[in-house]
Amino acid sequence: MNNLIPDPHPLKSVFKKLGFPQILIAKHLGIGLQSVNAILNNHKAPTKDQEVRLNKLVKEIELFKKLDSQVANLDGDRLDALKNHLSNESDLEVIK
């Protein structure tokens, strides 16, 4: 009987591990929550564009979490130095 249940989309476990809710995936893809649920549970195949956007979203979330954890691990002096560095106008010009 379990053979009738499809394996979930490979990214379903990744999104779950990252703590990224399906409602935000739906907003990112511009589709309904039911469609996201159907895609992640492999009841509906994503379009090529949706698959590309899902993979890109995972990479962006992973990068954000990595950067966020690095900033969280900075001690007070290092964090102040980083804030000062980022607030310099010359640094902001380079970022633009």
Digit-by-digit pLDDT tens for the chain (96 residues) are 567 888 999 999 999 988 889 999 999 999 999 999 999 999 999 999 999 999 999 999 888 888 877 777 766 666 676 666 666 644 444 443
Distance CA 34, CA 12 (A): 14
Which pLDDT score is estimated for 93? 42
Report pTM.
0.69
What per-residue confidence (pLDDT) applies to 96? 34
Range of the domain at 73: 2-95
| Domains in the chain, number | 1
Confidence (pLDDT) at 19: 87
Q: What is the residue whose two structure tokens read 């950067």?
A: 67
| CATH at residue 56 | 1.10.260
Tell me how far apart the alpha carbons of residues 52 and 68 are, in angstroms, rounded to a whole number: 24
